[in-house]
Every structure is written in structure tokens, then in C-alpha cells.
Amino acid sequence: MNLRHLTLHQLRIFHAVAEHNSFARAAEALHLSPPTLSLQVKQLSETVGQPLFEQLGKKIYLTPAGKTLAEASGDIQLRLDRLSEDLSALQGIERGSLKLAILTTVKYTVPKLLGGFCAAHPGIDVAMVVGNRENLLQRLANNQDDLYIMGQPPEQLDVLSEPFADNPLVLVAPPGHPLVGRKRIAPARLKDEPFILREAGSGTRLTTEKFFAAHGITLKNRLEVGSNEAIKQTVAGGLGLAVLSGHTLTAELALGELVQLDVKGFPLIRRWHVVVPRGKRLSAAAQAFREWLFTHR
């Protein structure tokens, strides 16, 4: 076995197969034909001198040698990424890349900030993923991105977080609701009202339930919906009330499709946080965008 004969290209291909747990999906991700990819993995296996995968039914699994190589290839890829960041840093922030993961609700505000940042630094390659809280927590745990923007930093992960902007949560109703136009509505008045809620684990839902629980109220969950857009349409259709970020409601409130209720204690003020794993070394581009959030909010 002479590992000097293996190539970084082969390791990259092998790492993709191990990550996707599929030759076909890895080939698609790398824009390679399946035969070309399979040949590279076969040659790498011959260099190692042991099989790297075994197939049981339609699924493939790493062999003990494959697991060892997967760990090593991950270390090598991490070191190459760090090398790229170091070289980019020597050229200043006008080169490099930024991987950003943001909460679904933040898509109404952060992309505008990102647009200004990209205009000021056109040489930076940017990738942005938009997902719900569960998606972001999984990506954060796997260290898949540079920066994460969410409402409530996770307590179960070792991270550094800093608030950079307010996120007011408001209570909305359809235009014909009996409470529209009432002033200083007591929270207790809403105990029998049906609510349209985000999925369990959503930061907005957790904050809403905490507020009403403090007033001795358990919300009547009429529907559980996984997106803000669907919630807005459902409320506009007269199926219930909802608590949503004020940033998501500008158009609907202006057009009169939804009405903000004047409930005591609202709006609930949450904060947007920029989150990174503790100890993560940020690239020059990521550090620059982090600072941009605080100076251009």
C-alpha cells in the first residue's frame, strides 16, 4: 500500500460518496458521470488495498477501512478550506467565500443587508441557505456554514451569539374579526380564540406560548403550519389569529388583508442573533459580513 499514489481528487470524490451515502447522488453533486466516479473510487480502494464500501440490498455502507479514510478525508478537506481562507485573508476581504444560513423569517431582512454587502465586495462568493429552526440547528451542529442567523440561540450547543437587530412579534387577525379596532385588549380575552401556529420548536411559537402561559392561557391550536406565508393566507381566510414577525407583514397590513390587534403586552420584542460555533475561526469575508450586520442594520 503506497498512499502517495492517491490524489486529492479521489479523496474529494470518496468524501462526497460517504457524505451522500450514494454513488448516484455524489455524482450529481460533483457533476460527474456515475462510471467516472465509480472508477475513481475503485482506484482509490486499490491504492488503499481494502474495500471502502459494502453493499447490502440497495444501500451502501462504509467498511472499517472506509470509515477510517472518511475521517481522514474530512480532516484534509477542513485543512484545505482553512488554507483557502488563509490565502484569501492575505488578499483582504475582496476575495474569499461566505456561507450563510438564515432562519426562514429572516429572509425578509437579511438578504437586503447581504445585497449591500455583495455590492460593496463583489469579489466574494456567497452561498445562503434558508431553513426553519430545526434545519439551522442541524447545520450548526455539523459546522456546515460560516454564520447562522436565528431568533433564539440554542442552549444545547456550544456557540457564541450576539443580538444585532430587533424582531417585533405582532398579533394579527382577518379584517372582519370582532376584535379589530378594540383598544388595549386583555390577553385573557383571547383564551377561546383559535390560533394558527408554527411548527413545534419554532422560536416564534415558543415565545408566543410563553407569553400566554404567563397569563394562565393555553392557546387553542386550530392549525399547525410550517411557513409564514401559509399562516398569513390562513389567517386572511378567517381561520384564526396568529403571532408573526412584524417584518413579514408589511405588505399585508398595508393592503388591509390582515389587521394588527392592539393586545396588552404586544408587540413581543425578540432579537435576531448572529451565531457561530465557539472556537470557529471565521474567514475574512465572514468576519466582514458579521461586522456589516451591526453597522448597516
Taking only the tens place, the pLDDT of each residue in 123-132 is: 888 999 998 8
Check pLDDT > 60 for residue 25. yes
CATH code at position 233: 3.40.190.10
Q: Which residues contact 93 (CB under 8 A, 6 or more apart)?
A: 121, 124, 284, 285, 287, 288
113 and 252 in a single domain? The answer is no
Q: What is the pLDDT of residue 94?
A: 63
Question: Which of 49, 64, 88 is a domain's end point?
Answer: 88
Q: What is the mean pLDDT of residues 283-291?
A: 88
145 and 284 in a single domain? The answer is yes
Domain coverage including residue 286: 93-165+272-295
Question: Which of 33, 65, 88 is a domain's end point?
Answer: 88
From residue 27, alpha-carbon distances to 14, 86, 133, 290 in Å are: 10, 29, 29, 34
Q: What is the pLDDT of residue 171?
A: 97
Confidence of residue 237 (pLDDT cuts 50, 70, 90): very high
281 and 138 in a single domain? The answer is yes
* Assigned C-alpha cell, 204: 416564534
145 and 216 in a single domain? The answer is no
Check pLDDT > 60 for residue 85. yes
Check pLDDT > 60 for residue 40. yes
CATH code at position 52: 1.10.10.10
Please give the helix or strand (H or E) that residue 103 lies within, else none. Answer: strand 97-103
23 and 40 in a single domain? The answer is yes
Confidence of residue 14 (pLDDT cuts 50, 70, 90): very high
160 and 276 in a single domain? The answer is yes
Arithmetic mean of pLDDT over the chain: 90
Q: What is the pLDDT of residue 219?
A: 93
Check pLDDT > 70 for residue 88. no
Taking only the tens place, the pLDDT of each residue in 160-204 is: 999 998 999 999 999 999 999 999 999 999 999 999 998 887 888
31 and 152 in a single domain? The answer is no
- Which residue has better confidence, 244 or 89? 244
What is the rounded distance in angstroms from the CA atom of residue 103 to the CA atom of residue 235? 22
Check pLDDT > 90 for residue 218. yes
240 and 282 in a single domain? The answer is no
> In total, how many domains does the chain have?
3
Question: Which of 88, 117, 139 is a domain's end point?
Answer: 88
160 and 252 in a single domain? The answer is no
47 and 14 in a single domain? The answer is yes
Lowest mean pLDDT among 80-89, 191-200, 208-217: 80-89
Q: What is the pLDDT of residue 122?
A: 87
Q: What is the pLDDT of residue 96?
A: 76
176 and 249 in a single domain? The answer is yes
Q: What is the DSSP string of 36-72?
A: HHHHHHHHHHHHHTS--EEEETTEEEE-HHHHHHHHH
- Phi, psi torsion values for 249, nearest 5 degrees: -115, 5
Reported pTM: 0.63
Instruction: With H, G, I as helix, E, B as strand and everything else as coil, classify residue 118.
Output: helix
Check pLDDT > 80 for residue 271. yes
Check pLDDT > 60 for residue 90. no
265 and 195 in a single domain? The answer is yes
268-277 and 259-260 strand pairing: unpaired
Q: What is the pLDDT of residue 159?
A: 94
